[in-house]
C-alpha cells in the first residue's frame, strides 16, 4: 500500500492495512487456517486447497515464511519431503482468523438477506424509473 495523510499516519489504521496486506490476499488466510489444524506437506496443501496453482501455493508459502508466520522444513530424502507448519506467531494470527470465521458464521444469513433486499430495491428503482 501507499496511504499517506490523516489515516495513513494513524498508527492503528496503518497497522490494519499491514495485517490485511498479509492475509487479505486470495490464499494466505486459507493456508493459515489449514496449517492451524497441524503441519502439512506441500502436496497435501496442494490437494486440500482445491483451485490453487502450484505457483500461487509456492508464492503464498514463501510470503508467509518471509513474514515469520510459517516455517518450512526440508527432509532431503528421495524424493524430497517438505513440511510446512505455523510458527508461534502464526498460531496467534490463525486464532484471530478463527475469530473472524465465527463472526462470519454468526452474520452469514444477515449479510445474505441484506444483499437480497438491497438488490431488490435496486431493481425496483430501475423498473419504476
Partner DNA sequence: CGGGATCCTGGTAGATACTG
Partner DNA sequence: CAGTATCTACCAGGATCCCG
Q: Which of 44, 124, 32 is nearest to 85 (CA)?
A: 32
Which residue among 38, 75, 105, 129 contacts a second copy (CB under 8 A)?
A: 105
Check residue 66 for interaction with a second copy (CB under 8 A): yes
Stretch 18-37: interaction string toward a second copy, x if CB under 8 A: xxx-xxxxx--xx--xx---
CB–CB of 27/35 below 8 Å? Answer: no
The nearest distance, CB 75 to a second copy, in angstroms, is 20
Region of 56-64, 89-97, 105-113, 116-124 interacting with DNA (CB under 7 A): 56-64
Check residue 58 for interaction with DNA (CB under 7 A): yes
- The site that binds DNA (CB under 7 A) totals a number of residues, namely 22
Check residue 72 for interaction with DNA (CB under 7 A): yes
For 7-46, give the secondary structure using H, E and C: HHHCHHHHHHHHHHHHHCCCCHHHHHHHHCCCCEEHHHHH
Which residue among 38, 40, 76, 107 contacts a second copy (CB under 8 A)?
A: 107
Q: E strand or H helix at 82, and its extent?
A: strand 81-86
The nearest distance, CB 106 to DNA, in angstroms, is 25
CB–CB of 73/83 below 8 Å? Answer: yes
The angle subtended at Cα 35 by Cα 32 and Cα 36, nearest 5°, is: 85
The binding site for DNA (CB under 7 A) comprises 25-27, 41-44, 51-56, 58-59, 61-62, 72, 79-82
Amino acid at each position: 500500500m501507499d496511504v499517506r495523510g490523516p489515516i495513513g499516519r494513524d498508527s492503528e489504521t496503518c497497522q490494519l492495512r499491514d495485517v490485511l496486506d498479509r492475509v487479505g490476499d486470495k490464499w494466505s488466510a486459507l493456508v493459515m487456517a489449514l496449517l492451524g489444524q497441524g503441519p502439512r506437506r506441500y502436496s497435501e496443501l496442494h490437494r486440500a486447497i482445491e483451485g490453487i496453482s502450484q505457483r500461487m501455493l509456492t508464492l503464498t508459502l514463501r510470503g508467509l515464511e518471509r513474514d515469520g508466520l510459517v516455517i518450512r522444513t526440508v527432509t532431503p530424502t528421495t524424493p524430497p519431503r517438505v513440511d510446512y507448519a505455523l510458527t508461534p506467531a502464526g498460531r496467534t494470527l490463525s486464532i484471530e482468523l478463527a475469530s473472524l470465521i465465527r463472526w462470519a458464521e454468526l452474520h452469514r444469513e444477515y449479510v445474505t438477506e441484506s444483499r437480497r433486499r438491497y438488490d431488490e430495491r435496486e431493481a425496483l428503482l430501475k423498473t419504476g424509473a
